[in-house]
Amino acid sequence: MDYLKIFAPATVANVSCGFDSLGFAVDSVGDEMTFTKTKEKGVKITVITGADLTFDIDKNAASAVVKKILNDANANFGISLTIHKGFSPGSGLGSSAASAAGAAFGTNQLLGNPFTELELTKFAMFGEEVACGTPIADNVSAAIFGGFVLVRSYKPLEIIKLPVPSALRVVAIHPQIEVKTKDAREVLPKEIALKDAVTQWANVGGLISGLHSSDYNLISNSLVDIIVEPARKNLIPFFDKVKESAMAAGALGAGISGSGPTIFALCKGDEIAKNVYKSIKKSYSNTGINFELFISEINQEGIKILSTQPTK
């Protein structure tokens, strides 16, 4: 294989109660990337569209990952890379993670798939470190594995893929404002009460159990975050208004995607998802803040191959 075009999905991390440990992939929003083998070793970015990202090989999350994998594999070829961002950096939907995970996946394909999904996650975490300063795994693992994932351990890294109930849908609104991850981290509590920790642990357990058993009531009851969301929601204008409108329209639960500002709502079935979409749109239309809104199935496949032949 000398050429590859892929779709790298947006992802929702934390999923209310699962701070830094739960995530899932989205089906309708993501990046498109192409990888072309070159005789000259190394990596170069030829095109970036959809966002103002650096062409610096060592500072761009995607190219940094490609470079590291090619070096580790002692590859006898190079890669020319193009990136089309399908959603905005800083959205809370794993923008750098899509680039990093897509880069790991695509490079592995051109190498003949020598690396496992877990190994690709580690490479993609390096891309997250380049982009954000921290090698976090929740977004990149969701993009690579697909569906819902649990980051059970970092040392050693252990990713558990969770089942996805067939009727589960996500509605998400991205207010066109910026919430810096650094600011979102700084507002987090340094200490939490034991009783709050117990409640949060129980909700994570309940959510995972609900996913395994397709128990939508249990999923709904467990989509509660009493630690991170109360600290961060003030960074997102009209957060409570959006959440209330989603719940009133029948959402199972709603919360902050990643560090925000995107707000997600999980729903059972297409009809409820459409109602939640309409309700959120109505609630935000008079705020004076531009926004993007989408509805999607959960992407159970993760990164997808779109083509292995360049367009002529």
pLDDT in tens, 101-129: 999 999 999 999 999 999 999 999 999 99
pLDDT of residue 181: 74
Q: In sequence order, what DSSP letters do the residues of 197-211 get, joined into one string? A: HHHHHHHHHHHHHHH
Confidence of residue 179 (pLDDT cuts 50, 70, 90): confident
Confidence of residue 92 (pLDDT cuts 50, 70, 90): confident
CB 121 within 8 A of CB 157: yes
Please list the residues that pair with 151 across neighbouring strands.
Answer: 159
pTM of the shown model: 0.94
Q: Per-residue pLDDT averaged across 214-240, rounded?
A: 96
| Residue burial 115-144, b: 16+ Cβ < 10 Å; e: rest | bebebbbbbbbbbbbbbbeebbbbbbbbbb
Confidence of residue 133 (pLDDT cuts 50, 70, 90): confident
CATH of 3-162, one of 3.40.50.10740, 3.30.230.10, 3.40.50.300, 3.40.50.2000: 3.30.230.10
pLDDT of residue 111: 97
The single-letter DSSP state of residue 261 is S
**Has residue 182 got a pLDDT over 80?**
no
Q: Round the average pLDDT of the chain to a whole number and report it.
A: 95
Please name the CATH architecture into which domain 168-297 falls. 2-Layer Sandwich (3.30)
**Has residue 206 got a pLDDT over 90?**
yes
Pairing of strands 42-49, 78-84: parallel
Q: Which of 139, 142, 177, 173 is nearest to 251 (CA)?
A: 173
pLDDT of residue 185: 84
Amino acid at 70: L
**Has residue 180 got a pLDDT over 80?**
no
pLDDT of residue 109: 97
**Among 92-96, 195-199, 237-241, 274-278, which stretch is predicted with the lowest mean pLDDT?**
92-96
pLDDT of residue 189: 93
**Has residue 52 got a pLDDT over 80?**
yes
Q: Where are the domains of the chain?
A: 3-162, 168-297
CB 129 within 8 A of CB 113: no
Spatial CB neighbours of 99, under 8 Å, sequence gap ≥ 6: 8, 31, 33, 53, 60, 61, 62, 83, 85, 127, 131
pLDDT of residue 140: 97
CB 23 within 8 A of CB 139: yes
Structure tokens at 220: 């709904």
Q: What would the pLDDT profile of 245-263 be if each residue is shown by its tens digit?
A: 999 999 999 999 998 899 9
Confidence of residue 89 (pLDDT cuts 50, 70, 90): confident
Spatial CB neighbours of 262, under 8 Å, sequence gap ≥ 6: 12, 91, 92, 93, 172, 173, 174, 175, 256
How many CB atoms are located within 10 Å of the residue 154 CB? 13
Q: Which residue has the higher pLDDT, 310 or 62?
A: 62
**Has residue 51 got a pLDDT over 90?**
no
**Has residue 264 got a pLDDT over 90?**
yes
Pairing of strands 304-307, 78-84: unpaired
Q: What would the pLDDT profile of 298-310 be if each residue is shown by its tens digit?
A: 999 999 999 999 8
How many CB atoms are located within 10 Å of the residue 312 CB? 3
Give me the residue label for tokens 């059972």: 268
Active site residues: 128, 181
Q: Per-residue pLDDT averaged across 78-101, rounded?
A: 92
Helix axes 61-72, 117-132, angle to 10 degrees: 130
